[in-house]
Amino acid sequence: MTSGINPTNSEPSATPVVPLYRDEVEVSGHIIDSLILPKVLDIITAAGGSFQIKTITIGHGRNDPSYARIEVTAPGRALLEEILSHIADHGAVPVAQQDCRRAAADMDGAFPEGFYSTTNQRTEVRVAGEWIAVADQEMDCGIVITADPPAARCVPMADLRRGERVVVGHAGVRVFPPARSAERDGFEFMASDVSTEKPKGVIIREIAAELLRCRRENRNVVVVGGPAIIHTGSGKYLCELIRDGYVQVLLAGNALATHDIEQAMFGTSLGVHLEHGGIVDAGHEHHLRAINRIRRAGGIRPAVTSGLLTHGVMYECVRHGVEYVLAGSIRDDGPLTDVVTDALEAQRLMRSAVRDAGFCLMIATTLHSIAVGNLLPASVKVVCADINPSTVIKLADRGSFQTVGLVTDVEPFMRSLVAELQAAAPARSVPHEAPQP
């Protein structure tokens, strides 16, 4: 049979008509220079939809916002809903506004099907025709609405209780992606850029300036630290930062505290003497002996009070009222009495500790950095200094896109940071918390 000729007595085959579904959204703010608009359009086409820009107004000055109204089209209602949900995370709000939909949780510790999964960006929900801010912003949570007066907050899955009203779907939810500041920020916090060839001196000066600003404005600085701080002999620099009032919260694990205390009691870390670098006879036992002494004393604070622990990072935390949370892991020796071995409880304590964070400095710890990154809103500036570039890449992949990575060894980074701070401002006497008996 010749191509294009129909069999006898047959009708020409009709091309099936695929119904198209449409909706209009709008985006506003610094959508051009922050690349929000091209990102939204790319998501639409990559997902199999199409778009038509119905209206666009571009701000002329750096402080002037822009606006775009976009018609989104997709060959299927489910696909259209999926596209709308993805672009909503970048600030695209449906033109036809409606209140957010809510469903009651039918059990503890699990959201209703179709729940709205939060980002780390500032979010509002529409209730009774009014937009209200979502409190305790955090990624990978649900949004619970309470009444009289209406309020909204992010709630982790494990903390949800039966009967609480949870937002479902994306209708009535709008997200505000961070816009680039009109004044150039030396960190360029809008995007992660991991490179071993970055001008480290410039970035360290910017970090020092940020720490000075936080101290001057009484904003909390959170340090997330790994045991390499102690192994490399950098603990003394962290002590300097604590004494000079640059650290308000320390988040770490059993290892950092253990090797810090080992160094204070025996002069070693992992059995290696930090002064001369030699391996000490039976030094491999020192960390366990240090843990044992602290456990016998009843914890780190009682060890400081009794004079058993006389220097080091944990000593300075106690003396200067720095809040610390030590989260446990399956591989911990001991662990120290202060280590929180319940993972969910440790997460709750960490979440509370970072609630008022103004700046976060992550140093040489992959898993702890990712865990804390998950808890921080996008508005908190983050610097991650690590010899392994994949740490910062993983942070960005998990959504902590405000993180700036500095690929460097711990000791020269800490030494340079302290030197910059000492050159920029004299040390000040910070009131310390007297150890309690």
* Domain 18-96 CATH superfamily: LOR/SDH bifunctional enzyme, conserved domain (3.30.70.2690)
Q: Please tell me the predicted confidence (pLDDT) of residue 191.
A: 42
Count the Cβ atoms, other than its own, within 10 Å of residue 431. 8
Amino acid present at 238: L
* 189: nearest Cα among 431, 433, 418, 396: 396
- In this prediction, residues 20-24 reach a mean pLDDT of 90
CATH for 200-424, options being 3.40.50.11540, 2.60.40.420, 3.40.50.10690, 3.40.190.10: 3.40.50.10690
Same topology, domains 18-96 and 97-179? Answer is: no
Residue whose entry in the numeric block shows the structure tokens 């780390």: 120
Instruction: From residue 304, give the alpha-carbon distance in Å to each of 261, 392, 437.
Output: 11, 35, 9
CB-side exposure of 170: number of CA atoms within 13 Å?
A: 20
CB–CB of 117/140 below 8 Å?
yes
Residue 381: other Cβ atoms inside 10 A: 21
Average pLDDT over the chain, rounded to an integer: 87
Could you tell me if 70 and 27 are in contact, meaning their C-beta atoms sit under 8 angstroms apart?
A: yes
Cβ(363)–Cβ(225) below 8 Å: yes
Reported as a single tens digit per residue, the pLDDT across 213-265 is 999 999 999 999 999 999 999 999 999 999 999 999 999 999 999 999 999 99
Q: For residue 59, what pLDDT is reported?
A: 84
The whole-angstrom distance between residue 156's C-alpha and the CA centroid of its chain comes to 15
The size of the chain, in residues, is 437
Instruction: Let me know: does 57 contact 26? Beta carbons within 8 Å.
Output: no
Tokens of 396: 């960005």
Other Cβ atoms closer than 10 A to 8? 5
What is residue 221's predicted lDDT score, i.e. its pLDDT? 98
CA torsion 208-209-210-214 (nearest 10°) is: 100
CA–CA distance, 352 with 345 (Å, rounded to integer) = 11
Contact, 128 vs 120, CB < 8 A? no
pLDDT tops 50 at residue 189: no
**Residue 100 pLDDT exceeds 70:** yes
Q: Is the pLDDT of residue 329 over 90?
A: yes
> Average pLDDT of 371-381?
93
Q: Class assignment of domain 97-179? A: mainly beta
Using CA atoms, how far apart are residues 365 and 229, in angstroms rounded to an integer? 9
pLDDT of residue 352: 96
Q: State residue 1's pLDDT score.
A: 37
- Cα separation, 278 vs 190, whole angstroms: 44
Task: Determine contact, residues 212/425, Cβ cutoff 8 Å.
Answer: yes
Query: Hey, where are the domains in the chain?
Result: 18-96, 97-179, 200-424
User: In the predicted model, is pLDDT for residue 325 greater than 50?
Assistant: yes
For the chain, the 3-state helix, strand and coil shares in percent, each to the nearest 5, are 35, 25, 45
Q: Is 379 exposed, middle or buried (0-12, 13-18, 19+ CB in 10 A)?
A: middle
Q: Residue 170 has what pLDDT? A: 87
